[in-house]
Amino acid sequence: MIDWRPQLRNPQLRVYDSGVQSRHGGGYTPGRHGTVMMLSPIVAQEVLRSALYDPAEALGGKAPKLWGMHNGTIYQFMYDNQGTWHGFPVMSKPPDHVLSAWRANETISNSDYKKILKYRNRGA
């Protein structure tokens, strides 16, 4: 098992595994685990490297979920314990820390923020 902690400190170390898509199969189903990534591997890699996480979740012994945004769609990335990440689009509310950061750096507008607050709770 490769330690994920350095990848939280240095996002440039994060590597997106596009091969997981083929193992998930199926079509696009918003917010469902197993949903195929709708981004190209290059764009998914960029979103992964800019993705944020809840620092409180990173205190445990398990890698936190990473949350990215691209063209109005929220993406969640999961660590695979082999040193890479896979991701998929979700309709879940990210942690408050992530939403606050997105508002502060203008990744989302105030109207986007209000819309996201109506999503079901995070972590699905």
What is the chain's Cα-based Rg? Answer: 14
Residue of 36 and 99 predicted with greater confidence: 99
pLDDT grade, residue 122 (50/70/90)?
A: low
Give the global pTM. Answer: 0.85
The yes-or-no verdict on residue 22 having pLDDT over 50 is no
pLDDT digits (tens, 9 = 90+) for 77-97: 999 989 999 999 999 999 999
The yes-or-no verdict on residue 38 having pLDDT over 90 is no
pLDDT at residue 58, as a whole number:
85
Residue of 28 and 107 predicted with greater confidence: 107
pLDDT at residue 1, as a whole number:
74
